[in-house]
Structure 1
Amino acid sequence: MANILVVDDEMGIRELLSEILGDEGHAVTLAENAQQARTARAAGAPDLVLLDIWMPDTDGVTLLKEWQRDGLLTMPVIMMSGHATIDTAVEATRIGAMNFLEKPIAMQKLLKAVQAGLSRAQEAVRAPVMASRPVMPAPVEETSFGQSQAVQQPVTHNLGMARAVNGDNPIFNLSFDLPLREARDAFERMYFEHHLGREGGSMTRVAEKTGLERTHLYRKLKQLGVEPGKLSKKNQA
């Protein structure tokens, strides 16, 4: 798990990035402007920063320059913008930003950029603060939630559906007395809980398994009342 600071003046983008990164196991701190970002940085260096360029009080490039000037640019910074020019991106990279993501940000590009930034930080920085923070290696993260444990948890719902597990093949018993909509929702809930359990709560892998876009998957889970974070913690217990 890594500590990631997200700085963006748009609430929707902050919430979406927080949800995505949180589902990947990271601790996320949010800042809606440069002043909040300064406060968060003063409290301790994050493992990585996602920094928007255009903000109302102080723009991201100016904040980046401040951190470089004051010796606070000790963590990887990934710039984000939907309106930045090539010159702005080049300037940010020259100052010390390691990457630039154009909005709207494709989720796969986001996760790859974050992973690259965290990998670079682990290789280049061995300061005591980072050494004292437990960091889960990537291979362990991929397998830290045992699939056998995840699929062996019997789950029942009050909607008339029960699941019995036989090896890797869950057997569903669905009451045909349910109204069609409730029966469909009950099946979809069990379907997504099954895949979330097998994939250790990783929304990226569940999206790939189910063939859904991540944003569609998030909306669907909220509609069904499925909470990936709670399910992941339950599977770890």
Structure 2
Amino acid sequence: MSGQILIVDDEMGIRELLSEILTDEGYDVTVAENAAAAQSYRETTQPDLVLLDIWMPDIDGVSLLKHWSASGLLTMPVVMMSGHGTIDTAVEATRIGAVGFLEKPIALKKLLATVMDVLKQHPVNSVATAPAVTTVLDKVISPLEPMLTGSDSDDCIVDMSLPLREARDQFERLYFERLIQQTEGNVTYIAELAEVERTHLYRKLKQLGVKIPKK
């Protein structure tokens, strides 16, 4: 493996764990404990990939991503990380330029697969003009695209007149119902497609009032 990876996370344990794992896989890893340290590093070096935590003190990951984008420094793929991720945050980060999203606790297999996939789509020391790896936004939108588009507003199943929170819940409910239908209710497949832990998936389905049919 090759590639220079910058890990930005305010939690020392996570920085050390991710660094150890990726170093063992042959990657050249640098860590930053906050956005200021990451910005200082980026001003002199362009890594091949950045793993960027969202929730950090002082300056959060999304704000740093916006700064890089506005200042022309977002010339490398960035994968966001969070233990409290929401679709809103993932969508915002994707619109700014992030190419992926990892939910904490990050599974080893998921981490390595994401890093490998991103570096494959964005070759070392090259700059892609647009994110080529499947993003969280793509995964959310694609199963529901027929429901959200159409020449007539009546074709849209999600009620766009609802307040944001209610519209989002309706959107997520449709999303998971479609995944349940596609996977015939296989929880493992649903969790993989939605890129969430099984425990989080069960909690989310309960919150939305979505039930997996008994086989």
Return the TM-score normalized by structure 2: 0.57
Query: 1:142-172 deviations in whole A, cap 9, x for unaligned?
Result: xxxxxxxxxxxxxxxxxxxxxxxxxxxxxxx
Instruction: State the match for 1:82 in structure 2.
Output: 83
Query: 1:37-90 deviations in whole A, cap 9, x for unaligned?
Result: 001111210000000000001000000000000111110100000012110011
Matched AA of 2:117:
A
Instruction: State the match for 1:109 in structure 2.
Output: 110
Instruction: State the match for 2:34 in structure 1.
Output: 33
Matched AA of 2:98:
A
Structure 1 residue 123: deviation in Å?
8.4
Matched AA of 1:118:
L
Gaps of 5+ in 2: 129-215
Q: Distance in 1 between matches of 2:62 and 2:54?
A: 6
Identity of aligned residues (%): 67
Q: Distance in 2 between matches of 1:124 and 1:11?
A: 28
Matched AA of 2:72:
G
Structure 1 residue 21: deviation in Å?
0.3
Q: Distance in 1 between matches of 2:42 and 2:118?
A: 17
Instruction: State the match for 2:188 in structure 1.
Output: none
Return the TM-score normalized by structure 1: 0.52
Matched AA of 1:2:
G
Structure 1 residue 36: deviation in Å?
0.2
- Where do residues 189-204 of structure 1 align in structure 2 (5 Å cutoff)? none
Q: Distance in 2 between matches of 1:40 and 1:28?
A: 12
Gaps of 5+ in 1: 128-237
Instruction: State the match for 1:171 in structure 2.
Output: none
Pair 1:11–1:126, CA change in 2 (3 A): closer
Q: Distance in 2 between matches of 1:52 and 1:78?
A: 9
Q: Give the alignment's Cα RMSD to 1 decimal.
A: 1.6
